[in-house]
Amino acid sequence: MRFLKNKLAVVIILLSVTFLSLIGYSVNRDKMSFVENGVGVTINSVQGIIFNGFFKMKNSFKFITNISDVKKENEELKKTNSELQSKQLEYTASIKENVRLRKMLNFSSQKEQYNYVGADINGLCGNSFSDGFTINKGENKGIKKGMVAMTGDGLVGQVTSVGDNWSIVQCLSNENIAVAGLVDRTRDNNGIVKGYTDEKNKSLAQIQRLSLDSKIKKGDVIVTSGLGGIYPAGIRIGSVLSVHEDKGEVMKSAIIKPYVDFSKIEEVFIVVPTDTKAGEIKY
């Protein structure tokens, strides 16, 4: 490649000297001869072509030698973009966690008679949250069977098994879980809330055993009543979707949409009574 460059340089120099000699020879004459003019035009044209070709080749060589730099720069840009995306995900996760903690703080400030142990979800006990899930806290953190699990949005369920550093929580969506419920607006407190699955296999809940003259209606808020001492009073459960009458049983029931989306929970808070020495959990 260097040999080609040197050859081009020699040709350009020879043409330039020839062209300058013609100019010097004819500078003292009024008019250039036809032959001189033709030679000059030819040399000038050839010289221009060679110069243009030379610089194009030079630019091509420069581009080729810069390919490695371009690749390096491209890799650095990709890395920077990946880092920015990771930071964005971390930032979004932090915001969501902050919202969840604020909701929980609002509840705990109203229920100061309990302690709250935060726990992360490790995995499912079956095919879905309705079958229960494991958390990464157990007896080593004071958790016992029968304690209530919740999030800032509302009731999740109850602890059914406990190990040294793990526990199993059954969700409200499980039909085996029963909670004493209260209609917040009407103060009807004789309802029992259980898990319920609709025809689309969607996890909901149902409040049963309400009196036939209950004024419950769509949109009403259902909370834990605290009766029986199994669940603390005032934990939000969900809102009423529809009301149904069973005149044969002389009672009403209602389908509830839980405030907690059981398929999306990432952590829970275990509600710990301040006095758990007796062994039996009572709220």
pTM over 0.75: no
Distance of CA 44 to the CA centre of its chain: 68
- Both tokens assigned to 44: 């000038």
The rounded radius of gyration (Å) of the Cα atoms in the chain is 41
Least confident of 48-62, 92-106, 124-138, 260-274: 48-62
pLDDT value of residue 71: 72
Distance of alpha carbon 227 from alpha carbon 174, whole angstroms? 20
Contact criterion met (CB below 8 Å) for 194 and 175: yes
Task: Give me the mean pLDDT over the 3-21 stretch.
Answer: 54
- For 210-262, the pLDDT digits (tens) are 999 999 999 999 999 999 889 999 999 999 999 999 877 789 999 999 999 98
* pLDDT for res 244: 93
pLDDT, residue 34, reads: 44
First to last CA, the chain: 89
Query: Residue 46 above 70 pLDDT?
Result: no
What pLDDT is stored for residue 99 in this prediction? 63
94-98, 196-200, 203-207: which has the highest mean pLDDT?
203-207
Between 56-70, 153-167, 209-223, the lowest mean confidence (pLDDT) is in 56-70
- CA-to-CA dists, residue 252 to 34, 114, 176, 217, 244, angstroms: 117, 33, 20, 11, 6
What local confidence, expressed as pLDDT, does residue 64 receive? 55
Tens of pLDDT, residue by residue over 73-131, are: 777 777 777 666 666 666 565 566 666 656 666 666 666 778 889 999 999 987 888 78
**For residue 39, what pLDDT is reported?**
44
Summarised one tens digit per residue, pLDDT across range 160-185 is 999 999 999 999 988 888 999 999 99
Give the C-alpha separation, 280 to 144, whole Å: 9
Query: Average pLDDT of the chain?
Result: 77
List of E strands, 164-202: 167-171, 178-183, 191-197
Are the beta carbons of 155 and 179 closer than 8 angstroms? yes
pLDDT at 75: 77
Q: For position 15, what pLDDT does the model report?
A: 54
Whether 157 shows a pLDDT value over 90: the answer reads yes
Secondary structure class of 62 (helix, strand, coil) = helix
Query: CB under 8 Å to 185, separation ≥6 — which residues?
Result: 215, 220, 221
**Spatial distance between the Cα atoms of 132 and 195, rounded to a whole number of angstroms:** 13
Determine the pLDDT at residue 35. 44
> In the structure encoding, which two tokens stand for residue 60, read together?
């091509």
